[in-house]
């Protein structure tokens, strides 16, 4: 009986990475800026995205959103209030979105074409660990944290924050009552992902939204 | 808890590769996992038996090589191997270093396969032909 070692040197998520690369190429060709929004449950991703969609539409941008949750279409119904096309992805227990889900839902989504779309937002399942491993073909990965979660979130979840292209601090209208230490939070983000763009926002009061929308308009080359 | 998805991806990938060795048994699967890959070793081991059940990998051992983060410092042009994932600073000059040379790996390094004993019938046939 002989045994031998076979070298493979293959990425475990190679299939996902290949699908994501295909998506990225499609998005680039169609000229649509795709963002993947990741945070823990309760950070306020949906309220933040609802306001983002509304403000971008007011500027004449063509926007759409895919929203991932384990169950229910509550978030899709909330986001649809913005007037943008929204599609719910229910993962039924899976704790993250993957490139296969995005590919399949884009195919089935008859009322949205990538051509002519300026921005597509993908709201991931609320989870700060697993989504960091799955490339969805996005150009910008956004990590969100709320002032109610504490300043040390980036230190506790370095895998996600380190892979992000932008960070958004949400609910800053609650910073004072929560005793949120802004400087410490910014220092922590910068330790984990040096030089990243950080936006401090409130979907409730609109604080910081202009800066965020300007950033998106610039990245999406909106005129 | 996405370790079950990861384990299933490994099973799928290795089963594909092992098809090149018909009849061989996969004894061991060796991984390289970076400290920033967001994979928990214990959870992955816990899922392994479940993920390999009723597959050609049933009974195989999963060996996980954990790789620490290595950053390259642009300021002093040196690499540092870091103990943790809490701060990415050059150990030589203290500057923040974001040029990752290691730490995000999530790959199957190799597999160990055991070739089957040649079946007696096959040997007889060979003798007859000779």
Number of independent structural domains in chain B:
2
Pair B11, B45 in one domain: yes
Burial code (b: 16+ CB inside 10 Å, e: under 16) for A126-153 equals bbbbbbbbbbbbbebbbbbbbbebbbeb
- Interface check A93 vs B, CB under 8 A: no
Model confidence at B65, pLDDT cuts 50, 70, 90, reads very high
Pair B86, B120 in one domain: no
Yes or no: say if A146 and A121 are a contact pair by the CB < 8 Å rule.
Answer: no
Yes or no: say if B63 and B17 are a contact pair by the CB < 8 Å rule.
Answer: no
Query: CA A174: distance to chain centroid?
Result: 22
- Interface check A179 vs B, CB under 8 A: no
Predicted TM-score (pTM) of this structure:
0.87
User: Is A7 contained in some domain?
Assistant: no
Pair B88, B29 in one domain: no
Instruction: Convert the pLDDT of each residue in A64-113 to its tens digit.
Output: 999 999 999 999 999 999 999 999 999 998 889 999 999 999 999 988 89
User: How many other β-carbons are positioned within 10 Å of the β-carbon of residue A9?
Assistant: 9
Contacts of B110 in chain A (CB under 8 A): 5-9
Tokens read off for A204: 């409730």
Pair B93, B64 in one domain: no
- For residue A130, give the CATH number of its domain: 3.40.50.300
Summarize the confidence of residues B62-90 as an average pLDDT.
93
Summarize the confidence of residues A10-29 as an average pLDDT.
95
Bridging pattern class, strands A3-11 and A86-90: unpaired
For residue B130, the model assigns a pLDDT of 43
Instruction: Convert the pLDDT of each residue in A134-150 to its tens digit.
Output: 999 999 999 999 999 98
In order of A27, A66, A189, the CA distances from A117 in angstroms are 10, 13, 31
- For residue B38, give the CATH number of its domain: 3.30.2320.50
Closest CA to B36 of A50, A193, A162, A104: A162
Pair B41, B84 in one domain: no
Indicate if ipTM > 0.95: no
In order of A13, B16, B27, the CA distances from A6 in angstroms are 19, 13, 11
Q: What are phi and psi of A140, to 5 degrees?
A: -125, 120
Q: How far apart are CA A33 and CA A24, in angstroms?
A: 10
Of A194 and A12, which is predicted with more confidence? Answer: A12
pLDDT over 60 (residue B44): yes
- Interface check A3 vs B, CB under 8 A: yes
Lowest mean pLDDT among A120-124, B81-85, B126-130: B126-130
Domain coverage including residue A172: 14-219
Pair B81, B22 in one domain: no
- Interface check B95 vs A, CB under 8 A: no
Q: How far apart are CA A160 and CA B38, in angstroms?
A: 8
Q: How far apart are CA A153 and CA A188, in angstroms?
A: 8
Q: How far apart are CA B106 and CA B66, in angstroms?
A: 10
Pair B61, B121 in one domain: yes
Number of independent structural domains in chain A:
1
User: Is A1 contained in some domain?
Assistant: no
Name the B residues in 27-66 with CB < 8 Å from any A CB. Answer: 27, 31, 36-39
For residue B32, the model assigns a pLDDT of 96
Summarize the confidence of residues A9-27 as an average pLDDT.
95
Pair B96, B108 in one domain: no
Pair B60, B20 in one domain: yes
Domain coverage including residue B86: 69-101
Which of B38, B89, B106 is closest, CB to CB, to A129? B38
pLDDT over 70 (residue B123): no
Instruction: Convert the pLDDT of each residue in A154-185 to its tens digit.
Output: 988 888 999 999 999 999 999 999 999 999 99
């Amino acid at each position: 009986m002989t045994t031998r070692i076979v070298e493979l040197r293959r990425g475990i998520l190679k299939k996902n990475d290949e699908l994501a690369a295909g998506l990225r190429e499609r998005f680039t060709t169609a000229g649509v800026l795709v963002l993947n929004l990741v945070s823990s449950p309760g950070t306020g991703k949906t309220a933040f995205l609802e306001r983002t969609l509304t403000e971008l539409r007011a500027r004449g941008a063509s926007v759409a959103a895919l929203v991932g949750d384990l169950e229910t279409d509550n978030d899709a119904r909330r986001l649809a209030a913005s007037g943008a096309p929204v599609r719910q992805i229910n993962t039924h227990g899976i704790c993250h979105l993957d490139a296969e889900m995005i590919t399949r839902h884009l195919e089935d989504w008859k009322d949205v074409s990538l051509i002519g779309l300026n921005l597509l937002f993908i709201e991931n399942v609320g989870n700060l660990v697993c989504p960091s491993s799955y490339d969805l073909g996005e150009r910008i990965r956004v990590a969100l944290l709320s002032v109610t979660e504490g300043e040390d979130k980036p230190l506790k979840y370095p895998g996600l924050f380190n892979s992000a292209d932008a960070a958004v601090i949400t609910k800053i209208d609650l910073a004072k009552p929560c005793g949120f230490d802004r400087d410490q939070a910014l220092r922590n983000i910068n330790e984990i992902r040096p030089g990243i763009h950080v936006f401090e926002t409130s979907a409730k009061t609109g604080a910081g939204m202009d800066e965020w929308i300007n950033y998106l308009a610039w990245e999406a080359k909106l005129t | 808890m996405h370790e079950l998805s990861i384990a299933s991806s490994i099973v799928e990938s290795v089963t594909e590769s092992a098809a090149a060795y018909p009849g061989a048994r996969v004894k061991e699967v060796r991984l390289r996992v970076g400290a920033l890959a967001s994979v928990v070793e214990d959870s992955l081991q816990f899922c392994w038996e479940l993920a390999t059940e009723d597959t050609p990998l049933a009974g195989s051992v999963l060996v996980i090589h954990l790789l620490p983060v290595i950053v390259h410092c642009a300021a002093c042009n040196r690499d540092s191997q870091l103990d943790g994932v809490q701060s990415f600073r050059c150990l030589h000059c203290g500057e923040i270093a974001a040029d990752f040379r290691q730490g995000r790996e999530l790959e199957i390094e190799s597999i160990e396969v055991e070739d089957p004993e040649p079946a007696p019938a096959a040997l007889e046939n060979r003798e007859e032909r000779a």
